[in-house]
A and B are shown apart, each in its own frame.
Chain A
Amino acid sequence: MNQDLSRLTAAQLSELYRKNACSQKEALDSVEKNILVRDRDPRHIHAYVPDRPRCPIHRKADKASPLWGVPIAVKDNICVEGLETTCSSKILKNFIAPYHATVIEKLLDAGAVVYGQTNMDEFAFGSSCETSCYGPTRNPRDPERVPGGSSGGSAAAVADHTAFAALGSDTGGSIRQPAAFCGVVGIKPTYGRVSRYGLIAFASSLDQIGPITKDVRDSALVLGAIAGHDPKDSTSADVPVPNYTAFLGKSIKGKKVGVLSDGELKGLDPAVRGAAKEEAQKVMERLGAQVVEISLPNMKHSVSVYYIVAPSEASSNLARFDGVRFGHRSKEARSLLEMFEKSRGEGFGAEAKRRIILGTYSLSSGYYDAYYLKAMKVRTLIKRDFDEAFKKVDAIMLPTAPSAAFRVGEKTQDPLQMYLSDIFTISANLAGVPAISLPCGFDETRTGKPLPIGLQFLGRPFQEEVLFQTAYAYEQETGFHKKIGNVS
């Protein structure tokens, strides 16, 4: 086998399997080889959790399945039975998941090979992968820069050809923004489309698991495998899963695509404006879509709403990390109170503590109405904006992030600045609508390397097929999926 298998997409690998042109071992070896190259690299991209053994997990399945034999990496907040699963946090040291998350069961049933756990912001709190207790992951495009977060490891692995595909999770943009920063494709499904059972929870009403892949076809393949109703998750929707790949290649002529006015897209970097607004609109028009200006008047409140709702739910979800049954317990615990306070004090990083404090405060006596309840009401307004918009258009198009990847350490001193960069991704989580990010250009105004810029399409609930159709058309027209970086 002369070809470097690691550079293939999952679909292309699957094609080779069908022709019996390669073996599973060869596929695994090809990514493992790249991982080892990276490990030896002084630039330390760290897409994978360091010092965590990687062993392929798979089960007998139908060889005709499109994901059969495809190695897929998994973010460190998704439970894989028998593996230490830590959300990149000290507090979960030695927590061995005693069960598979439902998405893992589904991948295994589809014949995929679960291989490798990727680094993340601790408990998914972050947009840069810098809060991991294992150290930051770096952007393969430019290791001085962040890969985005919180699924930074998954995006970096896919962009770096150290994974064919990976699973991430998205609460406020954590799949889409790293996909944008690394130049790959990431989709946050409709809330309830994919089971959350086995996803270590951040914000229960916002979290979704989704694939990060090299192109739109792979995204459709992996989502098709992991989506579906799960009786173990009360919030999972009992809606049939369409054959997503059947929609790839269909024309989007006549489809109405909504765009926001300049007034509603404040703070855009000029390079992002160029690629993700001006150029993107031209591409849509070339493809025969009708570009319509729409308004999401309450989107400007989305960061405020999110940074009340998400930390509130998180502060409660993280209460189970108390040192009693699993994970870290402080050696200085002489009383019950000390056991709780010191274990949690020692185990959680700064961002986690910040969010727990914010969340606890928002829910506390005397403040619930002013913060949490108010935020939940404005959330309704944000959702209504989308309901209105989707009466007029089939998809909404906007940039994924206001700028391309920033430098490691650039925003760590100012949490608020970090939060504000989530402005374009957060609304989709608050409204529950699906959203896909794919590459739409490069920012070449920074020093040295061209940095990927991401474009989002948002769609109606449970109509991911429209997103795939639209994104595929865009991708085929522009060819950015062919420009994923090299391993050198």
Chain B
Amino acid sequence: MSSIDLKHVARLARLHFSEEELKFFQTQVAQILSFVEKLNEVKGLENVPPTSHPFSLSDVFREDEAKPSLALEEFLKKSPQSKGRFFQVPKIIEDKT
């Protein structure tokens, strides 16, 4: 069974897990990964291109014309925390800039 650094992945995904949950998920995720690793049995993939889209659509554009914006007042009323026209978040000491 593959073992993964669940704590690291959880941090990447910004998901909080209790110790109990970590144990619970560790086993299940390992099981699933073992299963999907069966794909390693598929040979001859060197020249097979990956499929991102089932059909070869390309070159879809929109014109550079302004459209009405969202009236934010209603939306802000239901936001977890807002002040004036801003969304509010915990104070950040340093910008990632």
Direct contact of A and B (CB under 8 A): yes
Residues of A whose CB lies within 8 Å of any CB of B are 94-96, 98, 191-192, 205, 231, 234-235, 237, 298, 301, 303-305, 307-308, 315, 319, 322-329, 333-342, 344-346, 348, 350, 353-354, 356-358, 360-361, 364, 370-371, 373-381, 383, 415-416, 419, 430-433, 461
Q: Is B66 an interface position by the 8 A CB rule? A: no
Q: How many A-B residue pairs have CB under 8 A?
A: 162
Contact A341 B9, beta carbon cutoff 8 Å: no
Of B13, B52, B79, the most chain A CB neighbours within 10 A belong to B13
Please list the 4 inter-chain residue pairs (A to B) with the smallest Cβ-Cβ separation, ordered nearest first: A432-B54, A345-B16, A376-B50, A329-B80
Q: Please give, as numbers and ranges, the residues of chain A lying within 8 Å of B75 by CB-CB distance.
A: 96, 98, 326
> What is the CB-to-nearest-CB distance from A324 to chain B, in angstroms, rounded to a whole number?
6
Cα-based distance from A451 to B85 in the complex (angstroms): 54
Contact A357 B90, beta carbon cutoff 8 Å: no
Q: Please give, as numbers and ranges, the residues of chain B lying within 8 Å of A383 by CB-CB distance.
A: 51, 54
Contact B15 A326, beta carbon cutoff 8 Å: no
Residues of B whose CB lies within 8 Å of any CB of A are 4, 6, 9-10, 12-17, 21, 25, 28-29, 31-33, 35-40, 42, 45, 48-55, 57, 60, 62, 70, 74-75, 78-81, 87, 89-90, 92
**A354-B28 CB under 8 A given contacts A305-B39, A379-B50:** yes
Contact B51 A380, beta carbon cutoff 8 Å: yes
**A357-B15 CB under 8 A given contacts A237-B57, A364-B9:** yes
Partner of A326, one of B12, B36, B80: B80
Partner of A307, one of B25, B32, B70, B90: B32
Contact B89 A191, beta carbon cutoff 8 Å: no
Main SS at interface, chain A? helix
Cα-based distance from A334 to B89 in the complex (angstroms): 9
Can you list 15 contacts pairing A with B, beta carbon distance less than 8 Å? A94-B78, A235-B57, A304-B35, A304-B37, A305-B39, A326-B75, A335-B90, A356-B13, A357-B10, A360-B13, A361-B29, A364-B12, A371-B36, A378-B45, A416-B32
Contact A205 B52, beta carbon cutoff 8 Å: yes
> What is the CB-to-nearest-CB distance from A154 to chain B, in angstroms, rounded to a whole number?
24
> What is the CB-to-nearest-CB distance from B92 to chain A, in angstroms, rounded to a whole number?
6
> What is the CB-to-nearest-CB distance from A430 to chain B, in angstroms, rounded to a whole number?
8
